[in-house]
Amino acid sequence: YRDAVSRAGFRNHVHQTFGLRSSVERFFGYLKDRTRVFYNNINPKKTPFTPLLDFLELFMHWYTEWR
């Protein structure tokens, strides 16, 4: 990406592999993967909101305690 960045006119660009952005992107990656699994296994005809709330509670517990 160095060539593209320099052609775009960014002279003082600093590449950062680790940092706050990486943590945020990793969190949303986990959330995206888990919601994909949840979405593929949900049956909305039975109960519309209970599975969603259960999923969110379980995901936050997993993310804060077990990961």
Within 13 Å and on the Cβ side, how many CA atoms surround 11?
0
* CA-to-CA dists, residue 44 to 38, 41, 47, 50, angstroms: 11, 10, 6, 9
Q: Alpha-carbon distance 31 to 24, whole Å? A: 11
Q: If you ran DSSP here, which 8-state letter would residue 44 be given?
A: T
Whole-angstrom distance, CA of residue 52 vs CA of residue 44: 10
Q: Where are the domains of the chain?
A: 19-66
Q: Which tokens go with 14?
A: 């600093």
Instruction: Encode pLDDT of 3-61 as tens digits.
Output: 777 788 887 777 766 666 777 888 888 888 887 877 666 666 666 667 778 888 888 88
